[in-house]
Amino acid sequence: MKTDNRRGFLKKSILGISGFAMVPGIMKENIAVKALNKPSPELPVRLLGKTGIKTPLLSMGTSDATDSGFVRAAYEAGIKLFFSATYYGEGKNEKLVGEGLKGLPRDSFIIGTAVPPDGLDMRSGKFTNSFDAEAYIKKAEGSLKRFGLDYVDIFLFPFAGKRETVMNEGVMKALTQLKKQGKTRFLGIASHSDTEEALKAAADSGIYDIAMPAYNYKTTSRESMDASIAYAAKAGMGIVAMKSTAGAFRDKSGPPLNTNAAFKWILQNKNVASIVSGMSTLEQLQKNLTMIMNLKMTDQELKDLNLTGQLSETGLYCHQCKQCLPQCPGNLDIPTIMRSYMYAYGYKNIRQAWYTLADVQFSKQCENCNTCKVKCLAGFDIKKKINDISRLKNVPLDLIQI
């Protein structure tokens, strides 16, 4: 009885933080396809760097998808580029995407997945031990099995940041080997932090074809970031922007962001070939597809983004600048905790928030800390956010697993 009460309490108090509905996939494949059962529209496209691929301005990040039918519906609606990751639901998302695209002509869609290496320290962005190429290749091959494919189009090296990591000799050899073996067509990086350094390193390496940087209207030092994107694009790299809505909500309980405005802002940069959007409903999909047909920003959309700073807000988007790390006596991985907070309250993706927190170690020192002295450049109340999202660590996975 105590266990049932505890689980009931957790369901109400923790899972309620984002209004998450604990129901199985509600969109059956035949319903989803029928809803958009018409020829794929001609969507505006841009060239994805030296790959030669002409991709629609909108791509699908599949971490929010809970039904293979929705993936199929996105394809039918004109989406051709899909991104998953081995750490989305511990590989279950790759299976879901593979099921959604099963039976389609292989040259009619493009799949990318992110395969993180073991031993990469999120806080420093560096390897804590020697890179194991053989183990990495096995992880990549595991993705192929889950997708049910002989190859993926893009293998992304995620959480790329420091130059020495992006250009690690073992990493580049392993990736090159995967490409030579025909297990991937192209190689890329995905970067949440130290992004400018990562972009320049990837361009200089000569082996990466694609970069997926965190890039949105809240990007700090926009001129230098744009210069780094231009540098990579000039080297032939295709740029796909992620974290495109910067948390989607202005605050935990605030109104939703004007996502049309956020997406259009990114696509004003012609060096960005596509934006990856995490979508989970037909309504979101159709709204985003309508948006990319006209990229001209209205005065109201510019106001909605608060680019003039007239509104006082901290928002949910952590810039992953890591300035907080040396300030914390408990040595907490604050940037990762803040990303989990954003996934939960901004993107309403409790599963991804749970998985993001899975490897985070919370310090006893933090539990007993009455006054958190960490100062966030974005104005976050670090202690409050940590105390809030850390509760998710106590929620059994089976309560939120779909």
Here the CATH number for the domain that contains residue 259 is 3.20.20.100
SS3 label, residue 249: strand
Q: Are 209 and 50 in contact (CB under 8 A)?
A: yes
Answer yes or no: pTM beyond 0.85.
no
Instruction: Give the chain's count of helices (H) and strands (E).
Output: 16, 10
281 and 340 in a single domain? The answer is no
CA distance 150 to 163: 31
Q: Are residues 69 and 193 in the same domain?
A: yes
Q: If you write DSSP's letter for every residue of 76-142 in order, what string do you get?
A: HTT--EEEEETTSGGGHHHHHHHHHHTTS-GGG-EEEEE-PPTTB-TTTSSBSS---HHHHHHHHHH
299 shares its domain with 333: no
Which residue type is seen at 268?
Q
Phi-psi region of 90 (alpha: psi -120 to 50; beta: other; left: phi over 0): left
Q: Which of 304, 339, 372 is at the close of a domain?
A: 304
**Is the four-CA dihedral 12, 84, 257, 249 of positive or negative sign?**
positive
Which residue type does 317 have? Y
Distance separating alpha carbons of residues 274 and 94, to the nearest angstrom? 21
Could you say which DSSP state residue 242 is in?
Answer: B
- 363 & 218 share domain: no
Output the pLDDT for position 284: 87
Q: Phi and psi for 100 in degrees, rounded to 5?
A: -65, -30
Tell me the three state secondary structure of residue 346: coil
Q: Are 230 and 271 in contact (CB under 8 A)?
A: yes
Q: How far apart are CA 396 and CA 7, in angstroms?
A: 8
Cα distance between residue 381 and residue 332, in whole Å: 15
Asked if the structure places residue 22 within a domain, the reply is no
Single out the residue in 248, 271, 304 at which a domain terminates: 304
Measure the CA angle with vertex 381, ends 379 and 384; round to 5°: 165
pLDDT value for 26 = 39
Residue 45 φ/ψ region, left for φ over 0, alpha for ψ in the -120 to 50 degree band, beta for the rest: beta
Assigned domain for 381 exists: yes
Residue 367 is predicted with a pLDDT of 66
d(CA 381, CA 367): 16
Q: In this structure, are 198 and 279 located in the same domain?
A: yes
What number of CA atoms fall less than 13 Å from residue 229's CA on the CB side?
25
| Per-run averaged pLDDT (10 residues), the chain, 402 residues | 44 47 40 45 90 94 88 93 88 92 95 90 81 92 95 94 93 95 96 90 96 88 93 97 74 72 94 92 90 91 70 67 80 81 76 78 70 80 82 76 52
Is residue 329 assigned to a domain? Answer: yes
338 Cβ contact list (under 8 Å, min separation 6): 318, 320, 380, 385
Q: How far apart are CA 143 and CA 137, in angstroms?
A: 10
Are residues 276 and 331 both part of a single domain? no
Is 130 found in the same domain as 276? yes
Considering its fold, how many domains does the chain have in total?
2
SS3 181: coil
Residues 297 and 340 in one domain: no
Q: Which helix (H) or strand (E) holds 198?
A: helix 195-205
Note the pLDDT of residue 3. Answer: 45
Q: How many CB atoms lie within 10 A of CB 332?
A: 23
Give the other-Cβ count within 10 Å of 264's Cβ.
23
- In a domain, residue 163? The reply is yes
Domain that holds residue 92: 29-304
Measured distance CA(250)–CA(387) in Å, rounded? 20
Residue 116's φ and ψ, nearest 5 degrees, are: -75, 145
SS3 30: helix
d(C-alpha 231, C-alpha 204), whole Å: 9
3-state secondary structure of 154: strand
- 8 A C-beta contact, residue 92 and residue 62: no
The residue type of 154 is I
Which of 264, 284, 304 is the C-terminal boundary of a domain? 304
